């Protein structure tokens, strides 16, 4: 019996990893990047980040993309869409279908977002500024697109608690994307807040499967060889959780913080002229995105 | 690979059958085939099926000889029936094993199912109706070193459709039946069983943003005490930091506690169960969802109903992320009592000519009383008061059943259910809220003769439209007529009518008929009609069943 307890104790000792610092080391910006100057931020509106979980083999996903596109056309730059390609079944390259569906739009950061916040509902599904649609356990993802417009329109009238402006540039000689953000506290915040930088590529022409549902006026049902993939997430530049920049209970209105991030592009098929950088600030406790900003990469 | 496995298995069987000729070898098994032809039906939301016809097939073939047994399960999903997990595609050997036992030790190589304690720390099992199969694939050793002492060790990966999950699961379980340790203890009326388990999983850190624990351990202790008709059992389990897709990658430890008590005597039985679960989703792949590669199982503390409306419209799915649940059950038999005949020889009116069975059941599940953390650098997510329920009700069910004979040929069962069901929690909906459903069921059986019987069911479900409850699909009524000719035939027709739906177009009749024929070990069933979308649950584990319209044919056979 004594031996058995020793065996159990050994198993316990060797089979448990207690993690005390889940976030590990902070990612720093490349020293080549140069910090820009920011003018006074006069924005008074809250921007809404719409993360669209999608995949080129998800035949109903163009329907969701079209709805988001229509909303953006109607509302304007307050709407910031990000297409996050996830789920192997819908987004993994399909060698058997070559030359169709060979581009892998999945990203480690996108997969992290899907596993952390999505995953409960299938595709297509979206998150609207990661608002918790169901408290405890939190749930951020919605699949029913019917009330989608109303939810977004409610948010765009909110008074922002944080302001944000972003500048980004591409250093071709080093294939380096540099991004800087200025965050300004507009209302005293009780919770910690973090900033995340995302690198997007817009207007990628590639294959997409489409069921024909949803009334997309430009495409017919079937395999579409020249589908316009918009705002595709290419990289979570400072990981999907980002970096904490505001300490809850220890901030005052007018506090400003400059944060930076960079990414060395090694993928030859990416087109820097189509790059966009999206930065957003979220509440660490509720996960809600309080402000977002999209900048073109100069 | 599959062919190699089959060849190895057959060669083992061949070798063993020739090397152990002292005992007779036996081959036995069973086969099940379900085929369905689908008609698209836009009215009920039944999607078009490109293949028109889908099929699930299973064949278990087992060989035993003396202390040795081996077997396979051949499975086909061509393609899987609607509602089955999409990962089941194609044909293959889903389960194969070889087991040998001698001198108190039993070794299994290949696939096996296993459970430690109540299952809160480890349970590998199959529930075919759900498409649930988290069988282990590796080695298992059971050892009985001393009378009353039982040890088990498992090491392997878990089945994920026709592949395996990436994680490795290791576990050990020990159980001591105190009364078996000596003859004097064995004479005691009170019987006590103690047990303990340790389970660990390994999965590579695949996350670029977080430092993930690659080895996640979980440990549990349990006790069962029996004396006469009384029993009391409990199990407590803890799990170290296990960030996963289920818990939004928090590093909080998981905990669970379940306590069961029961008392029974002739004509009376009562039981009570209390359970609390906090962050106890435990899978061998932290990124998986649905019902895939669960290492553990959270026992259901709600009654599993059999009648159609209470069973399929609002059944509860256990919430492994957190819940506090209770269940109480009382059953009582009012014995029959004979009365003397009247003076004129006629039989007097006697309400207690036949026994009456009454059972009352109540169960409820609440959210955990928890608070999100404001500053959370170690990603603990929230704090909680263990075993304290929140005000939010996930589910509750009060039901009463009355069962009685009316005459030597007729008997009836009446059931009433009052359920509350949070659609947002259980089905992942947004902003729909709590449904309050009240259901009446009358089940009447008339035995025409020794071979023929007629059964009739009438069910009504009404949803509460007041008090802030969500009306959902409104009221339903269901009628069923079943005619049985023993032992071979049965005929049944059932109609479900959603007459109270707010949307008049959705006031649909779901008419469904079936014919079955049983001959010895073979059973054939042919069905045709509409089946509404619903939720199918077994033991608190659920899957969504989509609407369908068509013909289905099922064959089961054992040998």
Q: What is the pLDDT of residues A34-47, one digit of tens each?
A: 999 999 999 999 99
Dist CA B310 CA B494 (whole Å): 15
Nearest to B28 by CA among B6, B61, B53, B69: B61
The confidence score (pLDDT) of residue A10 equals 60
Tens digit of pLDDT for each residue in A265-282? 888 899 999 999 999 999
Check whether residue B360 and residue B501 sit in a common domain.
yes
Q: Which residue reads 């039982």 in tokens?
A: B150
In 3-state terms, what secondary structure has residue B332?
A: strand
**DSSP code of B303?**
P
| Residue of A20, A116, A191 lying closest to B248 (CB–CB) | A116
Sign of CA dihedral A69, A71, A77, A79: negative
Number of H-type helices and E-type strands within chain B: 4, 31
B524 located within any domain:
yes
Q: Which residue reads 């960030």 in tokens?
A: B243
The confidence score (pLDDT) of residue A216 equals 73
The confidence score (pLDDT) of residue B430 equals 73
A18 located within any domain:
no
B43 located within any domain:
no
Contact of A192 with chain B, judged by CB distance below 8 Å, is answered with yes
Q: Which of residues 58-77 of A touch B (CB under 8 A)?
A: none
Q: Which of A112-121, A140-149, B282-291, B541-550 has the lowest mean pLDDT?
A: A140-149
DSSP alpha helix (H) spans, B318-440 = 423-427
A7 located within any domain:
no
Dist CA B528 CA B426 (whole Å): 30
Dist CA B214 CA B206 (whole Å): 9
The confidence score (pLDDT) of residue B545 equals 78
B394 located within any domain:
yes
- Residue in B with minimal Cα distance to A118: B245
Are B200 and A11 an interchain contact pair (Cβ–Cβ within 8 Å)?
yes
Answer whether B51's CB lies under 8 Å from B81's CB: no
Which residues neighbour B154 within 8 Å (Cβ) at sequence distance 6 or greater?
B112, B114, B122, B136, B138, B139, B140, B169, B170, B171, B172
Are A134 and B424 an interchain contact pair (Cβ–Cβ within 8 Å)?
yes
Q: How far is A164 from chain B (nearest CA, A)?
A: 22
Dist CA A13 CA B129 (whole Å): 39
Which residues neighbour A225 within 8 Å (Cβ) at sequence distance 6 or greater?
A100, A207
Check whether residue B292 and residue B311 sit in a common domain.
no
Say how many CB pairs under 8 Å bridge A and B. Answer: 137
Q: How far is A114 from chain B (nearest CA, A)?
A: 8
User: pLDDT band at A178, cuts 50/70/90?
Assistant: very high
Dist CA A66 CA A89 (whole Å): 22
The confidence score (pLDDT) of residue B86 equals 80
State the total domains in chain A: 1
Beta bridge partners of B435: B421
Check whether residue B114 and residue B194 sit in a common domain.
yes
Dist CA A83 CA A72 (whole Å): 14
A160 located within any domain:
yes
Q: Which residue reads 């608002």 in tokens?
A: A131
A11 located within any domain:
no
Beta bridge partners of B193: B177, B224
In 3-state terms, what secondary structure has residue A68?
A: helix
Q: Using an 8 Å CB-CB cutoff, list chain B residues near A287.
A: 248
Nearest to B317 by CA among B130, B542, B85: B542
3-state helix, strand, coil in chain A (%, to 5): 20, 35, 45
Could you say which of B298, B331, B354 is where a domain stops?
B298
Q: Which residue reads 């600030």 in tokens?
A: A281
DSSP A253-273: TT-EEEEEEEEE---TT--GG
- Residue in B with minimal Cα distance to A235: B208
Tokens of A188: 């005293």
Helix (H) or strand (E) holding A89: helix A88-91
Q: Using an 8 Å CB-CB cutoff, list chain A residues near B198.
A: 8, 11-12, 15
Q: Using an 8 Å CB-CB cutoff, list chain B residues near A123.
A: none
Pairing of strands B126-127, B105-112: unpaired
The confidence score (pLDDT) of residue B44 equals 85
First CA to last CA distance, chain B: 28
Check whether residue B348 and residue B409 sit in a common domain.
yes
Rounded mean pLDDT, A11-28: 69
Are A191 and B374 an interchain contact pair (Cβ–Cβ within 8 Å)?
yes
Tens digit of pLDDT for each residue in A244-260? 899 988 899 999 999 99
Could you say which of B263, B298, B333 is where a domain stops?
B298
Nearest to B333 by CA among B401, B260, B392: B401
Q: Using an 8 Å CB-CB cutoff, list chain B residues near A111.
A: 287
The confidence score (pLDDT) of residue A6 equals 56
The confidence score (pLDDT) of residue A137 equals 62
B244 burial via Cβ count (<10 Å: 0-12, 13-18, 19+): buried
The confidence score (pLDDT) of residue B353 equals 85
Tokens of B428: 């992942």
Residue A256: Cβ within 10 Å count:
11
Check whether residue B192 and residue B126 sit in a common domain.
yes
- Among A7, A13, A15, A246, most B C-beta atoms within 10 A, so best to mutate, is A15
The confidence score (pLDDT) of residue A12 equals 53
Answer whether B238's CB lies under 8 Å from B219's CB: yes
Q: Which of residues 106-165 of A touch B (CB under 8 A)?
A: 108-109, 111-112, 115-117, 119-121, 133-134, 136-139, 142, 144, 147
Q: Using an 8 Å CB-CB cutoff, list chain B residues near A285.
A: 372-374, 376
Residue B230: Cβ within 10 Å count:
13
Could you say which of B69, B98, B127 is where a domain stops?
B98
A6 located within any domain:
no
Nearest to B530 by CA among B506, B546, B549: B549
Q: How far is B374 from chain A (nearest CA, A)?
A: 5
The phi and psi torsions of A297 (rounded to 5 degrees) equal: -95, 115
Tokens of A275: 């790059």
**Is pLDDT at A233 greater than 70 in this prediction?**
yes
Dist CA B246 CA B282 (whole Å): 9
Q: How far is A149 from chain B (nearest CA, A)?
A: 15
The confidence score (pLDDT) of residue B455 equals 94
Answer whether A258's CB lies under 8 Å from A35's CB: yes
| Residue of B170, B249, B375 lying closest to A192 (CB–CB) | B375
| Residue of A22, A109, A134 lying closest to B211 (CB–CB) | A22
Dist CA B550 CA B559 (whole Å): 30
Check whether residue B56 and residue B136 sit in a common domain.
no
B39 located within any domain:
no
Check whether residue B397 and residue B526 sit in a common domain.
yes
Pairing of strands A48-54, A79-85: parallel
Q: Which domain holds residue A141?
A: 23-296
Dist CA B30 CA B59 (whole Å): 6
Nearest to B318 by CA among B546, B124, B542: B542
B314 burial via Cβ count (<10 Å: 0-12, 13-18, 19+): buried
DSSP E strands: which ranges in B147-229?
149-160, 163-164, 168-177, 191-202, 215-227
Question: If you compute the radius of gyration of chain A from its CA atoms, what whole number of angstroms results?
Answer: 21
Are B322 and A137 an interchain contact pair (Cβ–Cβ within 8 Å)?
yes
Tokens of B69: 């047994």
Tokens of A35: 């910090």
Are A24 and B210 an interchain contact pair (Cβ–Cβ within 8 Å)?
yes
Beta bridge partners of B93: B74
Answer whether B535's CB lies under 8 Å from B543's CB: yes
Dist CA B445 CA A176 (whole Å): 78
**Is pLDDT at A285 greater than 90 in this prediction?**
no
Q: Alpha carbon of B20 to those of B25, B60, B99, B154: distances in Å?
A: 9, 23, 15, 27
- Among A3, A5, A19, most B C-beta atoms within 10 A, so best to mutate, is A19
* CATH number for the domain that contains residue A212: 2.60.40.10
Are A136 and B322 an interchain contact pair (Cβ–Cβ within 8 Å)?
yes
Helix pair A61-75, A148-156: axis angle to 10 deg:
30
Q: Using an 8 Å CB-CB cutoff, list chain B residues near A116.
A: 245, 248-249
First CA to last CA distance, chain A: 71
Q: Which domain holds residue B329?
A: 300-559
Answer whether B136's CB lies under 8 Å from B113's CB: yes
Residue predicted with more confidence, A25 or B480: B480
The vertex-B147 CA angle with B141 and B149, nearest 5°, equals: 50
Residue A15: Cβ within 10 Å count:
20
A274 located within any domain:
yes
B44 located within any domain:
no
Check whether residue B146 and residue B292 sit in a common domain.
yes
Regions of chain B where pLDDT drops below 50: 1-2, 12-13, 15-20
B284 burial via Cβ count (<10 Å: 0-12, 13-18, 19+): buried
Q: How far is B261 from chain A (nearest CA, A)?
A: 30
The confidence score (pLDDT) of residue A9 equals 52
The phi and psi torsions of B110 (rounded to 5 degrees) equal: 105, -140
Q: Using an 8 Å CB-CB cutoff, list chain A residues near B208.
A: 108-109, 112, 239
Check whether residue B412 and residue B541 sit in a common domain.
yes
Are A285 and B251 an interchain contact pair (Cβ–Cβ within 8 Å)?
no
State the total domains in chain B: 3
């Amino acid at each position: 019996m004594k031996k058995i307890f020793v065996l159990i104790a050994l198993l316990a000792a060797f089979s448990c990893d207690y993690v005390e610092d889940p976030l590990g080391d902070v990612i720093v910006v490349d020293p080549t990047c140069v910090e820009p100057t920011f003018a006074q931020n006069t924005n008074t509106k809250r921007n809404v980040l719409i993360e669209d979980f999608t995949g080129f083999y998800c035949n109903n996903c163009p329907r969701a993309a079209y709805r988001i596109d229509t909303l953006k056309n109607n509302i304007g730059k307050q709407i910031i869409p990000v297409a996050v390609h996830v789920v192997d079944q819908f987004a993994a390259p399909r060698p058997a279908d070559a030359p169709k569906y060979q581009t892998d739009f999945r990203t480690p950061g996108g997969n992290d977002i899907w596993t952390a916040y999505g995953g409960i509902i299938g595709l297509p599904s979206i998150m609207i500024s990661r608002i918790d649609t169901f408290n405890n356990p939190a749930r951020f993802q919605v699949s029913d697109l019917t009330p989608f417009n109303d939810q977004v329109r409610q948010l765009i009238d909110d008074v922002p608690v944080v302001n944000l402006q972003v500048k980004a540039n591409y250093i071709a000689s080093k294939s380096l994307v540099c991004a800087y953000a200025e965050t300004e506290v507009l209302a005293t915040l009780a919770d910690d807040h973090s900033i995340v930088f995302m690198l997007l590529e817009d207007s990628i022409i590639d294959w997409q499967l489409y069921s024909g549902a949803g009334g997309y006026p430009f495409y017919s049902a079937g395999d579409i060889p020249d589908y316009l993939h918009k705002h595709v997430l290419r990289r979570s530049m400072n990981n999907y959780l980002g970096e904490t920049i505001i300490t809850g209970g220890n901030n005052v209105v007018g506090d400003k913080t400059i944060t930076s991030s960079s990414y060395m592009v090694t993928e030859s098929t990416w087109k820097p002229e189509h790059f966009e950088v999206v930065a957003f600030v979220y509440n660490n406790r509720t996960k809600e995105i309080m402000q977002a900003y999209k900048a073109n990469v100069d | 690979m599959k062919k190699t496995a089959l060849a190895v298995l057959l060669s083992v069987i061949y070798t063993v059958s020739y090397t152990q000729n002292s005992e007779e070898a036996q081959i036995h098994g069973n086969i099940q085939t379900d085929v369905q032809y689908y008609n698209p039906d836009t009215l009920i939301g039944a999607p078009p099926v490109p293949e028109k016809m889908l099929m699930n097939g299973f064949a278990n073939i087992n060989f035993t000889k003396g202390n040795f047994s081996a077997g396979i399960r051949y499975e086909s999903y061509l393609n899987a029936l609607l509602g089955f997990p999409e990962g089941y595609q194609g044909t293959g050997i889903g389960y194969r094993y070889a087991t040998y036992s001698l001198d108190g030790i039993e070794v299994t190589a290949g696939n096996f199912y296993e459970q430690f304690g109540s299952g809160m720390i480890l349970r590998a099992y199959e529930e075919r109706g759900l498409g649930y199969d988290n069988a282990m694939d590796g080695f298992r050793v059971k050892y009985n070193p001393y009378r009353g002492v039982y040890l088990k060790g498992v090491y392997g990966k878990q089945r994920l459709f026709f592949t395996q999950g990436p994680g490795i699961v290791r576990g050990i379980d020990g159980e001591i039946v105190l009364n078996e340790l000596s003859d004097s203890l064995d004479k005691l009326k009170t019987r006590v069983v103690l047990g303990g388990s340790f389970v660990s999983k390994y999965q590579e850190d695949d996350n670029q943003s977080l430092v993930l624990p690659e080895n996640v351990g979980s440990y549990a202790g349990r006790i069962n005490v029996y004396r006469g008709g009384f029993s009391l059992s409990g199990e407590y389990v803890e799990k170290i930091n296990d960030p996963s897709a289920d818990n939004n990658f928090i590093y909080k430890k998981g905990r669970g506690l379940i306590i069961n008590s029961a008392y029974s005597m002739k004509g009376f039985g009562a039981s009570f169960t209390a359970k609390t679960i906090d962050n106890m989703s435990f899978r061998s792949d932290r990124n998986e969802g649905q019902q895939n590669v669960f290492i553990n199982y959270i026992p259901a503390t709600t009654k599993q109903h059999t009648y159609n409306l209470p069973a399929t419209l609002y059944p509860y799915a256990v919430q492994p992320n957190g819940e506090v649940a209770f269940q109480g059950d009382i059953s009582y038999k009012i014995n029959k009592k004979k009365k003397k005949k009247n003076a004129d020889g006629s039989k007097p009116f006697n309400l207690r000519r036949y026994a009456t069975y009454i059972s009352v059941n109540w169960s409820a599940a609440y959210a955990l009383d928890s608070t999100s953390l404001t500053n959370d650098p170690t990603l603990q997510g929230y704090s909680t008061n263990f075993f304290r329920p929140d005000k939010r009700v996930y589910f509750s069910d009060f039901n009463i059943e009355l069962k009685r004979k009316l005459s030597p040929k007729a008997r009836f069962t009446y059931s009433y259910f009052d359920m509350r069901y949070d659609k947002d929690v259980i089905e992942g909906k947004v902003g729909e809220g709590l449904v309050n459903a009240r259901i009446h069921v009358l089940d009447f059986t008339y035995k025409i003769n020794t071979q023929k019987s007629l059964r009739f069911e009438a069910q009504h479900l009404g949803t509460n439209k007041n008090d802030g409850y969500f009306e959902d699909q409104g009221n339903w009524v269901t009628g069923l007529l079943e005619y049985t000719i023993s032992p071979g035939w049965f005929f049944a027709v059932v109609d479900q009518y959603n007459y109270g739906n707010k949307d008049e177009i959705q006031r649909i009749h779901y008419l469904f008929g079936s014919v079955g024929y049983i001959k010895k070990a073979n059973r054939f069933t042919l069905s045709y009609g509409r089946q509404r979308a619903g939720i199918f649950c077994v033991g608190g584990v659920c899957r969504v069943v989509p609407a369908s319209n068509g013909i289905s044919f099922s064959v089961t056979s054992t040998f």
